[in-house]
Amino acid sequence: MAEPTQIAETISLTTLTPHTTELVLRPIEHPLSFKPGQWISLQLPVGDHPPLNRAYSLAEPPSATGHLTLVFDHVPGGKGSGYLSSLKPGDRIPLSGPYGHFVLPDSEPQHLLLIGRYSGLVPLRCMLRSLAEQGLLPSSTLIAQAPTTAEQLYHEEFMALAATHSNFQYLPFVSDGPDSHAETVDVIKHIAGNGRRVTPMIAGVKAFARPLRALLMELGFDRREVKLETYD
Ligand SMILES: Cc1cc2nc3c(=O)[nH]c(=O)nc-3n(C[C@H](O)[C@H](O)[C@H](O)COP(=O)(O)OP(=O)(O)OC[C@H]3O[C@@H](n4cnc5c(N)ncnc54)[C@H](O)[C@@H]3O)c2cc1C
């Protein structure tokens, strides 16, 4: 992690769902250039041995304001997310980045299969927004799993994207645990098991992401063909 640390100022906190918050930061020293899907590291003044380093994916593509938009879910008893919830506009946090290789392929895929659970949707949303803004959205499916209907992150936005882009399919599912996703499995088998060249990208906690990568490998994908971003 060679990227230098700099201070960022808190611009705003906005409630997105009962248990998720959007946090907008402004790097004070220099703007960050990043690719959709990448993440930054926040150094938080909490925990037994501060700073506590916590990674957060960028939720919005780079913008002229230089603001960085993050979204975090409120982990019960979580030191990092608990601290972020307590921030006020003007508060300062050291950050570094961008990091990560969970980014869109260089060449246009025949079909982009994005699969995310809860806050795992954050980097996928960033990619979709970037592609849609540039008029480059390829044939694509987003499988979005949420713990409850109230926690369906970006639900209206994804519905609107599907309504305006006939080549984009939005498939939301609700299941309380990360590993109870029979419908998700069926849909993946349908999309990725028919010989079409599919680029799969999965984000979320390991209990969600890893079994789905294993499923795709059973369907004939090479391990390296399945891009994964795990949060824990
Ligand atoms: C590359 C990367 C990108 C990430 N991007 C995001 C993001 O965009 N939004 C986000 O909310 N988090 C993201 N995370 C996770 C984040 O870094 C923290 O781990 C998370 O906020 C929990 O930290 P905590 O100190 O509050 O909880 P901890 O005390 O560290 O508790 C973690 C436990 O909470 C559970 N948990 C519930 N939700 C999460 C979650 N989202 N991530 C990890 N564990 C969770 C897990 O079971 C885990 O064992 C990312 C992690 C990585 C590695």
Q: Write the residue with the smallest CA distance to atom 9 of ligand 1.
A: 72
**Span from the CA of 231 to the centroid of ligand 1 (angstroms):** 5
Could you give the domains of the chain?
A: 6-99 (2.40.30.10), 111-230 (3.40.50.80)
Ligand 1 lined by 71 (C-beta under 6 Å): yes
Whole-number pLDDT of residue 180:
63
Q: Write the residue with the smallest CA distance to atom 29 of ligand 1.
A: 78
The atom of ligand 1 lying closest to the CA of 20 is 11
CB within 8 A of 5, min separation 6: which ones?
A: 43, 94, 95, 96
Q: Is the peptide bond before 98 cis (omega within 30 degrees of 0)?
A: yes
Q: Tell how far CA 122 is from the center of its chain.
A: 3
**Span from the CA of 31 to the centroid of ligand 1 (angstroms):** 25
Whole-number pLDDT of residue 2:
60
Ligand 1 lined by 208 (C-beta under 6 Å): no
Query: 193: helix, coil or strand?
Result: coil
Whole-number pLDDT of residue 122:
98
Whole-number pLDDT of residue 22:
98
Ligand 1 lined by 119 (C-beta under 6 Å): yes
- pLDDT, averaged in runs of 10, over the chain (232 residues): 85 98 97 97 97 98 97 98 98 98 92 97 98 96 97 98 98 87 89 88 97 95 96 98
Assess contact for 90 and 9: CB atoms under 8 A: yes
* Tokens at 95, concatenated: 């950050």
* Tokens at 92, concatenated: 């300062």
**Span from the CA of 143 to the centroid of ligand 1 (angstroms):** 20
Count the alpha carbons within 13 Å of 27 in the hemisphere toward its beta carbon. 22
| Strand 111-117 relative to strand 140-146, pairing | parallel
**Span from the CA of 179 to the centroid of ligand 1 (angstroms):** 17
The atom of ligand 1 lying closest to the CA of 81 is 26
Q: Write the residue with the smallest CA distance to atom 44 of ligand 1.
A: 232
Q: How far apart, in whole angstroms, are the C-alpha atoms of residue 83 and residue 53?
A: 12
Ligand 1 lined by 168 (C-beta under 6 Å): no
The atom of ligand 1 lying closest to the CA of 207 is 47
